[in-house]
Amino acid sequence: MKAMIRGNESIAYAFKLARVKVIPAYPITPSTLVPEKISEFLANGEMDAEFVPVESEHSAISAAIGASAHGVRVGTATASQGLALMHEVLFIASGMRLPIVMGIGNRALSAPINIWCDHQDMMSQRDTGWMQFYAESNQEGLDLGIMAFKIAEDERILLPAMVGIDAFVLTHTVEPVDIPEQKDVDDFLGEFVPHYVTLDPEKPATLGSFGFPEYFMEFKYGQWIAMERAKKVIDEVFEEFHNKFGRKYSKVTPEFLEDADIVLVTMGSMTSTTREFVKKLRKEGKKVGLLKLTTFRPFPKEELRALLKDVPVVAVVERNISFGFGGAVYAELAATFANESKKPKIIDFIVGLGGRDITFKTLNEVVGIAEKALKEDVDEVNWIDVNKEAVLKAEGLL
């Protein structure tokens, strides 16, 4: 069924179609519409689930753990400060190997307080042991939402997953979305079976126990192995989804890569703008390509090495910043090539923080610097569309 829906509704539909049983959630801009839509589904009798209107995001993820540990499929949604408030508990969800799925309306972190799009919230949860997917469109938000359950619940994996949809650009923007039939999603996901130890009075088990140094690392190594195995399982699930629903997904999607001198690496909704920009450059005869990163955790090192090793300059265009180093994607891509003999020159571009628009002008500047990098050294980390003069004055440097 084709419908015009907002990105938040994509997440809500993914939960409904996945027959999620418990949804603990706390509203936060820009993901508030997810629990609102769930509430509407429940009020209309279109969904059979328990909504827990918790008093904080910390309690949302804690309740999600409780429900998942009791053996039901669980989904929740948050953004920004809410995700940051969940931080300590995110480690516990993954450490306990509970396949919870969470929709994130990717939004900047304070200060200054800002409700608009960047990827700082999810990037800051990089090391919590959750798989991370970034959607380019509302269709992707819905599809990745459904697939995230299948990947997370696979008995080889058992890790929680986040699906990021960009604040406002996706969360609040109406797009045409093909909503799959319930029967097809039922076939695709199958009945929920918890492939983990649950809280069952018939078979009492202790979950979340105290791990001394002689046991702790084995638990962590298990998570490492699961995340490594997820690379293959993600491919399998993407393939199965393609066969059933006709839409193709990959951890990384190359476009116009053949003979490219410069490849722009993007995530989320900015990919659409970048694609149009690259098409324009190609028409002008410029050898520029695009590589969309859908999966950030696990980081698809192998695919990235294969696709980018012969590219002269890779421009990472990203909406996050790790102060004192650079963007997170840049750091990981640079590390991915650290031990390779054939590698691209990798340049970082910090763009679109706190919802600043990413336009052709932005990308033009990026490509300008990348072209310069073909011939000479340029700065490693480049801030684009920033009033640098004003900042340098304020910092007493001008």
Partner 1 sequence: MNYEKEEFFAPGHGMCAGCAAPIIVKWVLKLAGPNTIVVNATGCLEVATTAYPHTSWRVPWLHVAFENAAAAASGIEAAARAKGEKLNIIAFGGDGGTVDIGFQALSGMVERGHNVLYVLYDNEAYMNTGIQRSGATPWGAWTTTSKVGNANPIGKLQPKKPVARIIAAHNAKYVATANPAIFNDFKKKVEKALSYDGARFLHVISSCTTGWRHDPSKTVEIMKLASDTGIFPLWEVVDGDLENMRITYKPKKFKPVEEYLKPQGRFRHLLKNPEYVKKLQEQVDAWWAKYGHHYNP
Binding site for partner 1 (CB under 8 A): 21-22, 24, 48-50, 52-56, 58-60, 62-72, 74, 88-89, 92, 198-201, 203-212, 215
Least distance from partner 1 to the Cβ atom of residue 76, Å: 10
Least distance from partner 1 to the Cβ atom of residue 222, Å: 13
Least distance from partner 1 to the Cβ atom of residue 149, Å: 16
Q: Strand pairing of 345-350 and 313-318?
A: parallel
Contact 347, 369 (CB under 8 A): yes
Least distance from partner 1 to the Cβ atom of residue 53, Å: 7
Least distance from partner 1 to the Cβ atom of residue 212, Å: 6
Contact 25, 63 (CB under 8 A): no
Which residue lies nearer to partner 1 by CB, 59 or 322? Answer: 59
Which residue lies nearer to partner 1 by CB, 77 or 334? Answer: 77
Which residue lies nearer to partner 1 by CB, 199 or 369? Answer: 199
Least distance from partner 1 to the Cβ atom of residue 42, Å: 12
Least distance from partner 1 to the Cβ atom of residue 23, Å: 9
Q: Strand pairing of 252-255 and 288-293?
A: antiparallel
Residue appearing with tokens 């910092």:
395
Which residue lies nearer to partner 1 by CB, 93 or 278? Answer: 93
Which residue lies nearer to partner 1 by CB, 83 or 89? Answer: 89
Least distance from partner 1 to the Cβ atom of residue 96, Å: 8
CA distance 44 to 85: 32
Selection from 191, 291, 188, 294 nearest residue 242 by Cα: 188
Which residue lies nearer to partner 1 by CB, 30 or 103? Answer: 103
Backbone angles phi and psi of 95, in degrees to 5: -65, -30
From edge to edge, which strands make up the β-sheet containing 131-134?
75-78, 101-106, 161-166, 131-134, 295-297
Which residue lies nearer to partner 1 by CB, 87 or 280? Answer: 87
> For residue 398, what are the CA distances in angstroms to 323, 378, 382?
21, 22, 19
Please tell me what DSSP assigns to residue 108: P
Selection from 279, 299, 301, 300 nearest residue 289 by Cα: 279
Secondary structure, 3-state, 299-364: CCHHHHHHHHCCCCEEEEEECCCECCCECHHHHHHHHHCCCCCCCCEEEEEECCHHHCCCCHHHHH
Which residue lies nearer to partner 1 by CB, 197 or 381? Answer: 197
| Coil vs helix vs strand at 168 | coil
Exposed (0-12), middle (13-18) or buried (19+): which is 196, by Cβ within 10 Å? middle
Which residue lies nearer to partner 1 by CB, 67 or 304? Answer: 67
Least distance from partner 1 to the Cβ atom of residue 56, Å: 6
